[in-house]
Chain A
Amino acid sequence: MSIGIAPPAHIGAVAPALAGERPASLWGDAWRRLRRNRAAVTAALFLAWMSATAALAPWLPMKDPAAQDLALGATAPSSAHWFGTDELGRDAFARVIYGGRISLLVGVVGTLVSLLIGVTWGATAGYRGGRLDEAMMRFVDILYSLPYIFLVILLLVFFSRSLVMLFVALGLVQWLTMARIVRGQVLSLKQQTFVEAARALGATDASIIFRHIVPNTLGPVIVYTTLTVPAVILQEAFLSFLGLGVQPPAASWGTLVSDGARLLALFPWLVIFPGIALSLTLLSFNFLGDGLRDALDPQDRSDVA
């Protein structure tokens, strides 16, 4: 029994890959199903393009995002500055591209942190069971019951406000759901024969957890991860709204958008362009996540058979 929240059922609904029973075919089927989902494919292509642009930004021919021109100030989009300039006269196009670097990095690394903690915690609790499971999950319940904003403000107050700590803080408030999903999966997996077999062969608990059980929870974990990335990006944007985002002069999409929204009436281009980049990225992650969920659902054979 759990006091807290059940993991989102649509994720738990993805049944575990039945290890030992030709997983290759399962992944192959999933891949085929995913490719038929036009929305998910478009989303994946967009994300690939966005990530490539962000990653290669320093080598792309564009203006220095930090170069200021105070006398110029904020100007509307023009041929010299495609997305216009901000109040310090910086090129908004370069700021949006570089903002993508930070937002995507925060989203991915924050999610990885949550993944690392969540999977380890959930798998350990689920596999060991008993008192330890009870205690570990009760701890998750307690953190769940603290208001999110309270937790994240205090985490950011405690740690110095560096980019790395932002990753950690966002990861630290995100891992709870992941832990619950993984635990639920592990509880049902550990009864299965291949785990029994590994144990009989004298494998240690750690190796059973990480070599046999965790890989088999991959389906739901991948789906949830894809949906966590946009959530983390959005949370970073929310922190930027509170002034707790990345340290300037670095700017994430969240920073750009929350600053821009305040001056919407004066300089609309400062919210429109980063806003579009942010929204399309979030939308794509969500579509991709939903597509993966549909694809990895082994019960859904209707369109493959």
Chain B
Amino acid sequence: MLHFNLGAEPETYDPGLAAGQSDGRVARILFEGLTHEDARTLEPQPGQAYRWEMAPDGLTYTFHLRPGIQWTDGTPVTAGDFRWSWLRVLEPRNAARYAGLLAPIANAEAYNRGAIRDADSVGIAAPDDSTLIVRLAQPTAYFLYLAQFYTYLPVPRQAIAKHGNRWTLPGNIVSNGAFTLRTWRQNNRFEFARNPRYWDAANVKLDGVVAYTIDDLNTSANLYKAGVMDWCPSGYMPSQFVPYLREFADFRHGSYQGVYYYSMNVTRKPFNSVWVRRALNLAIDRDAIANDLLKRSREPWGNMTPTGYPGYEHPPGLRYDPEEARRCLAKAGYPGGKGFRRISILFNTSEDHRRIAEAVQAMWKRELHIDVELSNQEWGSYLQATTGLRYDVARRSWIGDYLDPNTFLACWITSDGNNRSGWSSARYDALIHAAAREVDAAKRFTTLREAEALLLDQGPTIPVYHYSTNELVKPYVHGIYQTPLDVHPLNYVWIDRDWRRHAAEPSLARGGRAGDGAPPARGAARTR
């Protein structure tokens, strides 16, 4: 048995409707898609499909399903199930939050919008029970990785027809992954058992998995220390513990596809001035925040796209330059901060956000003589204020959907729902649209780089740090690796009962972790 902390209580683990990190974790334990991720590299491995091919034009993928695969109720998993599941996500009536991830499929977006009513015109076909043919709207280099995302997992139509939106409850649920759901006690725990009908059940070593839903970071860390949990995933222990844990073999640290930033509301004065935005950016000492305050649990970061895209070269990041910041502020018409109104930093209730905001407040006061007040709002009010552009400066963050800089840059085009800053630049929009149409990978990256440089120079953002994963894994647990998307397939995890004896051999004790230098995997993930 593996015991770990799932963290926040999942709102739903119906794969098509799930929309949060813990939602996705449960869905991935219970269901298997066409492919499944390699635990180290996240590269697609044969799953429900045992082979697939891409047509030379890059537009058509044909997946061949493994013979004999079954749902837990004994009915066969067919290509029709996949088609039905994907169309269910796109069905406007179901209001699936992540339907957008299926957009590369031909006509999927129009069907989701309700512009097309005919499901047969969507590029998903199942000519027979074991063949799924997917037609894309345009060549999408990362489609195989995208199709590993939990929104693409198959769901059992027979169970959904019978139980409606209660089909995921224990007793009702029918799944096809390595584990089945035994019990779910809300605000307490999930218990999973090995699925004997899983095609590779012989190689699944864990008898079962217990996932607790503990959102308090201290409680989570305490339970790991007390030996109740074997794995404390990233984000579920206080960041202050990190410097004290580095010594231990349990601790794993790595880079995570996310950027923490502040956005400025350019519809308000004085943020409409590009010089003010530059001044505020240059007055932030990112090293002090990430290294001193956060004790190197995160990396200081002056770019809006994270590391880890082979071939993409970042434009120079924003620096800390108080002299230049003061000059910019003077150019904006506020020499020495004179006449600058009192501004406010909005953040949602969290100790980490508050500490950072307090540090930023002090930096702006010290370097620019600007008075800043802090506005700590609970979640609902915070979201309302950011979406409604009722703030001056707001704490935000973005986690990559897929391993491409586009996921970090596309949201800053005019009136994108995630822009939330009022910023609009015709040139920036043109660059992003040009990159989307570009087929040549190198040229596409050059265009995106130009866009990022523009965003850093003129945009409404103040990048602060690059996310990292900081997790604790007991030395006797094998098969859990640090990955850049914080995705952890549990199929082949095993527990070494004799670990103390094996610990003499260093490779086993260390669990053969993928180091920071390992080639970054390509794939897709959405997490909050």
Contacts and interface: CB of A to CB of B under 8 A. Distances in A.
A161 B377 contact: yes
A153 interface: yes
Interface residues of B, number: 30
Interface stretch (B34-42, B286-294, B398-406): B286-294
A153 B378 contact: yes
A153 B381 CA distance: 11
Interface string A30-70: 00000000000000000000000000000000000010101
A80 interface: no
B358 A266 contact: no
Contact of B378 (A157, A259, A263): A157
B247 to A, nearest CB: 15
Contacts of A87: 240, 293, 355
B283 interface: no
Contacts, number: 61
A248 B374 contact: yes
Contacts of A156: 378
Given A157-B378, A249-B374, A70 B240 contact: no
A161 B285 CA distance: 28
A3 interface: no
B288 A243 contact: no
A259 B351 contact: yes
A244 B354 CA distance: 12
Given A87-B355, A263-B240, A244 B292 contact: no
B373 interface: yes
A70 B378 contact: no
Contacts of A243: 349-351, 376, 378
A73 B349 contact: no
A248 B372 CA distance: 11
Interface string A213-245: 000000000000000000000000000001110
Contacts of B355: 87-88
Nearest to B354: A248
A138 interface: no
Contact of B218 (A68, A70, A249, A262): A262
B380 A262 contact: no
Given A262-B218, A262-B351, A247 B373 contact: yes
Contact of A70 (B289, B351, B373, B374): B289
A177 B15 CA distance: 50
A70 B357 contact: no
B362 A66 contact: yes
B273 interface: no
Contacts of A242: 349
Interface in B270-290: 285, 288-289
B359 A161 contact: no
A73 B292 contact: yes
Nearest to A264: B218
A71 interface: yes
B361 A249 contact: yes
B374 A247 contact: yes
Interface of B: 217-218, 238, 240-241, 244, 285, 288-289, 292-293, 295, 349-351, 354-355, 357-359, 361-362, 373-378, 380-381
